[in-house]
Amino acid sequence: MSKYTKLLTQILIGQSDSNISFSDLCHILDKMGFIMRVRGSHHIFRKEGVAEKINLQKDGGKAKPYQVAQVRNVILKYKLGGSENV
């Protein structure tokens, strides 16, 4: 199992949202085909076919827990967690 498959599993389970690295969360979104735009401290991710935009901000080196939950909801809603995406 790759590092990012483990990370995706950790995100989808949702028991450790406060322990997800900001850079890992950005990287997994990149692997899923999201395009990142940085505006100040905001990292905004968009993807064709996904209505929601994902707006992430660092909290130290970690992603903010509520933002990890938002990413999880988008992954589940659009069924983006398949093995071809990680």
Among the listed residues 14, 34, 47, 31, the one whose alpha carbon sits nearest the alpha carbon of residue 84? 31
pLDDT at 86 over 50: no
pLDDT at 13 over 90: yes
Tokens linked to 49: 């076919």
Cα separation, 74 vs 33, whole angstroms: 13
Cα 32-14-27 angle, rounded to 5 deg: 25
Give me the percent of the chain exceeding a pLDDT of 90: 86
pLDDT at 85 over 60: no
Task: Tell me the C-alpha to C-alpha distance, in Å, between residue 11 and each of 27, 38, 63.
Answer: 13, 23, 11
Q: How confident is the model at residue 83 (pLDDT cuts 50, 70, 90)?
A: low
Over residues 30-57, the mean pLDDT reads: 96
